[in-house]
Chain A
């Protein structure tokens, strides 16, 4: 009888070990700070786009720089998290010179001011892009 109990215990520990290895997550857990960063960026970046038809790029430069620093911080924070390559790739799109946000800023810079329709469209698009970052972060499993 004792032998059976001992075998059962060994089996249990082996099983637990195998379970822990198999249970290693494939994607990072939800992070409240990352979520707050993304929601805050969404508001700031959308506001920036909305004011692009009323404020010149040069006048808005301090605000633009501030938002860009926050965007860079969010990118670096997400890049530093384990198992977080998908969110990092999303931020890579946002910070890339070739992609929408930086192209929008370049256009604003060269135009001085944007026209109203483009400011509205750009703000809407930025909102949709950041919604994807927010949706992914919010959909990650919550820490136990």
Chain B
């Protein structure tokens, strides 16, 4: 039987919301929103891997490994974004202090 990806994705979204309610009672809506956002991030890959699994091109074990790859990618991407934000803040601080230094020097 062919997998209906739309239906599968809808099921996953419901499962994410239920999991968020169960695990994060006070922050359920934020957790559900984060979880749904993650699902959308991996949607294209998930669709392809699911199709490959259905077609017998990859094994269930390989499917699991590819999902681990997507989890890793989300984590590494978050680290990249955090690092780029720190670098931008450092650059801004340096520019501000250079500007102040030049201004003070010019009036002394």
Count of interface residues, chain A, beta-carbon cutoff 8 Å: 40
Main SS of chain A's interface residues? helix
Residues of B within 8 A of A93 (CB): 72, 75-76
8 contacts between A and B (CB under 8 A): A22-B93, A23-B94, A26-B89, A93-B72, A100-B65, A103-B68, A125-B70, A141-B91
What 1/0 mask marks residues of chain A from 74 to 97 whose CB sits below 8 Å from any chain B CB? 000000000000110110010000
Establish whether residues B86 and A26, one from each chain, have CB atoms under 8 Å apart when the complex forms: yes
Establish whether residues B76 and A129, one from each chain, have CB atoms under 8 Å apart when the complex forms: yes
Establish whether residues A117 and B58, one from each chain, have CB atoms under 8 Å apart when the complex forms: yes
- Given A93-B72, A121-B49, A121-B58, CB of A136 within 8 Å of CB of B108: no
Q: Which B residues are within 8 Å of any A CB, using their own CB?
A: 48-49, 52, 57-59, 61-62, 65-66, 68-73, 75-77, 79-80, 82-84, 86-87, 89-91, 93-94, 97, 100-101, 104-105, 108
**Complex: how many Å from CA A100 to CA B74?**
12
- Given A23-B94, A107-B65, A117-B58, CB of A132 within 8 Å of CB of B87: no
Contact of A32 with B by CB under 8 A: no
Establish whether residues B79 and A115, one from each chain, have CB atoms under 8 Å apart when the complex forms: no
Establish whether residues A115 and B73, one from each chain, have CB atoms under 8 Å apart when the complex forms: no
The closest CB in chain B to the CB of A30 belongs to: B87
Establish whether residues A15 and B79, one from each chain, have CB atoms under 8 Å apart when the complex forms: no
Establish whether residues A90 and B101, one from each chain, have CB atoms under 8 Å apart when the complex forms: no
Contact of A122 with B by CB under 8 A: yes
Residues of B within 8 A of A107 (CB): 61-62, 65
Establish whether residues A27 and B90, one from each chain, have CB atoms under 8 Å apart when the complex forms: yes
Give the distance to chain B from A29, nearest Cβ to Cβ, in Å: 9
Residues of A within 8 A of B105 (CB): 12
In-complex Cβ contact of B101 among A19, A98, A103 (8 A):
A19
Residues of B within 8 A of A19 (CB): 97, 100-101
In order of increasing CB-CB distance, the 7 nearest A-B pairs are: A117-B57, A125-B69, A100-B69, A132-B76, A27-B86, A86-B83, A136-B80
The closest CB in chain A to the CB of B86 belongs to: A27
Contact of A66 with B by CB under 8 A: no
